[in-house]
Amino acid sequence: MKVSFHGAAREVTGSCHRLEFLDAEGKSHAILFDCGMFQGEHMCGNKNMTPFGFDAKEIEAVFISHPHADHTGRLPKLVKEGFRGSIYMVEPCVGLAKLVLEDAHHIMMEEAQKCGSSVLYELKDLDEAFQQVKSVAYHEHIELAPGVTIVFHEAGHVLGSSYISLEAEGKRVVFSGDIGNDDVPILPETELLTRADVVICESTYGHREHEPMNTRGDKLREAIQDIIKQRGVLMIPAFSIERTQELLYEINKLLLGELRTNLPIFLDSPMAIKATALYRHFKNFLKFDESILKDPDKDFFSFPNLRETLTVPESKSINDVVPPKIIIAGSGMMSGGRIMHHLIRYLPYKQNRLLIIGYQAQGTIGRRLYEGAKSVRIFGEDVDVHAQVSAIGAFSAHADMNKLTRWLRPEDGEIPQKIFLVHGDPEAKEVFATHLRHQLQTEVIVPEYQSSHQC
């Protein structure tokens, strides 16, 4: 059995891992765990255009952990290059993944016009990819070949997120996808790892511990109260899937509780608006920390102050509303989307605030702002930064060092023989690798891009 790493190796984005194995009859097979996009300042950057490092036609199936673009974004490219196998994902993931890829294509088209490059895929490739999708249930046993079984397990990261186990050649290989944070108020807990010989594990926050979850409501309330006092604009760049819904849930709780205000709040993201509708549709997959029936409108994702600006004219009309106001917009890493226009308009003024609630990849404007940049370049324009920039780590959708370490101790008591660390900055991986070698006394490998290893 052999695994090779074609993305998210010594970096965070581009999750794509190829697994080769034999079935019970000795026949060779090749599958992928995820097929994600490399994300940075430009979605039309060269790295997404580079060859996969394998023949797409030889891949039999792809197993998708969750809908985020860095885990799904190159699926249409894979199809464009000849992949004709099945793409497996759990039911709620299907609609969300399609939203993500349609939005990514829209942004790529805009970026391509600006930078003169070609787009990664066409809409026909996207449509063809979803014709190859097979919806599966959690814990359903997928018999890929004689003696080969794949199962999806709840990861607690976003709606429709999974970690995936594969059994072949007498071994159990587990791919973490993205493991969710502890005590997320709208999602089930991450399922325990029952048994694993080899784990391909994410390490986004493997080098640190998160703030306590109960601090995020207090910090959000303080930010809102501060912006009301200063009569400014609170900009919150948020990932359309999960982070936006958790944010709406927290604001709703604040407005029902001690924070009584008519402050206008804008959800300025077509994808987030559509994704929230899917969250409502798949509410049976969610797990709220309070009874939804206690809410007067039976809906944790809406409230009287909230205005959804789906169209471009509606988005532009936000400018006519006198502060104080809150604007929630994508993209979460500030690498595109409507948030960019708000940054240009509001970053130069000290009464405003940018509140970061998600991971910011290296190379993104979000990362530079998080690290204290005094000026950023957006759409060819230098924008001075005088607005306050702050962050709430407790909104992270990723597990931290402690959660990942606990998860990597299977219930059967047998520590995995090999752990491959992916999906993290190099420094995070190295810190986490050292920690795991000490705590678990097992082999921990930080693979290079395009490298192959025996399992």
Q: What is the pLDDT of residues 253-264, one digit of tens each?
A: 888 776 778 899
Tokens of 131: 């014709």
Share of residues in the chain with pLDDT > 70 (%)? 95
DSSP 285: G
DSSP 400: B
Strand order, beta sheet including 142-145: 142-145, 148-154, 162-168, 171-175, 198-202, 418-422, 443-445
pLDDT at 243: 87
Average pLDDT, the chain: 92
| Contact status, residue 72 vs residue 35, Cβ threshold 8 Å | yes
Residue ranges matching CATH 3.40.50.10890 in the chain: 215-395
The pTM of this model reads 0.90
Helices and strands counted in the chain (H then E) = 12, 22
pLDDT tens-digit map of 133-157 = 999 999 999 999 999 999 999 999 9
User: Residue 247 phi/psi, 5° resolution?
Assistant: -65, -45
The correct CATH number of 2-209+397-454 out of 3.30.830.10, 3.60.15.10, 1.10.10.10, 3.40.50.920 is: 3.60.15.10
User: Residue 275 phi/psi, 5° resolution?
Assistant: -65, -40
First to last CA, the chain: 6
- Provide CB contacts within 8 A for 106, sequence distance 6+: none
Q: Which residues pair with 61 in a beta bridge?
A: 31, 86
Cis bond before residue 324 (omega within 30° of 0): yes
In order, the DSSP letters of 178-219 are: -PPPTT-TTSPPPPPP---SEEEEE-TBTT--PPPTTHHHHH
In order, the DSSP letters of 225-277 are: HHHHHHT-EEEEE--TTTHHHHHHHHHHHHHHTT------EEE--HHHHHHHH
CATH entry 3.40.50.10890 includes domain 215-395: yes
pLDDT at 249: 87
What mean pLDDT do residues 55-70 have?
Answer: 97
| Contact status, residue 164 vs residue 177, Cβ threshold 8 Å | yes
Residue ranges matching CATH 3.60.15.10 in the chain: 2-209+397-454
| Contact status, residue 18 vs residue 4, Cβ threshold 8 Å | yes
| Contact status, residue 267 vs residue 244, Cβ threshold 8 Å | yes
pLDDT tens-digit map of 314-360 = 999 999 999 999 999 988 889 888 999 999 999 999 999 999 998 88
CA 338 – CA 345 distance, rounded (Å): 11
pLDDT tens-digit map of 221-266 = 999 999 999 999 999 998 888 889 989 988 888 887 767 788 999 9
Q: Which residues pair with 265 in a beta bridge?
A: 306, 326
Tokens of 380: 């060819």
